[in-house]
Amino acid sequence: MTVLTVFIYIVVFIFSTIIHEISHGYAAHLRGDDTARLTGWITLNPLSHIELFGSIILPAILLFLKFPILFGWVKPVPIDYRNFKNPKLDISLVSLAGPVANLLLALVSGLGIRLIRIFPNFEAGFGAAIQSFLYIMLIINVILAIINLIPIPPLDGSKIITFFIPRDIATKYMNINPLICLTVLLLLLSYSDAIWNLLYPTINFFVIIFSGASY
């Protein structure tokens, strides 16, 4: 993978993760917590969101190593759960907002790819570059949505499932060390074919549904 390709992937990744976090902040605002809005975190300014290791270094390393799934993060928007009127429900809804935003970005990208294919002459020329960019946008956002729905801390899936389990168990579950969980997840994705065999068909399903192409 060339340096230019890695750069494009990282730019798309940062943009997609920023949209992911902004969606959390805006959903929190709708559910009664204005912390993210009042502190200026609901912004597209990348300087407010980029975390050097998680946003740039780690994704670049994974891309150069041809890791099957791009992984990383930006700074999470601040959310004060105490401001929610119905914390059990609202935490789950706010957490779900990020993956839903990524799936919407993937859908728009997929529709763009399908639209370009309607015009063969355009697709054979400048449209090919746009199509390649949209495909990168599609893949990254599908992966972000699927990975974040995995129910282990600190991923969004771990907060979503708290709606379905007793409060005392949910509290203990959410207090599990997130660094340990992320390390275990990366190791499993690196060395466990079973995990990849579960994730790949799901990712491929959305890619095909949205764009007609496969991953």
- pLDDT tens digits along 65-116: 887 778 888 999 999 989 998 998 999 999 999 999 999 999 999 999 999 9
pLDDT tens readout for residues 153-195: 889 999 999 888 888 888 788 778 777 777 777 777 766 677 7
What contacts 40, CB < 8 A, 6 or more positions away?
48
pLDDT bucket at 23, cuts 50 / 70 / 90:
very high
Instruction: Please report, for the chain, the start and end positions of each structural domain, with discontinuous segments joined by +.
Output: 3-211
**Dist CA 167 CA 21 (whole Å):** 25
What percent of the chain clears pLDDT 70, i.e. is strictly above it? 98
Q: What pLDDT, on the 0 to 100 scale, is given for residue 180? A: 79
pLDDT at residue 1 is higher than 80: no
* pLDDT given at position 192: 66
| Nearest one of 132, 135, 174, 141 to 157, comparing CA atoms | 174
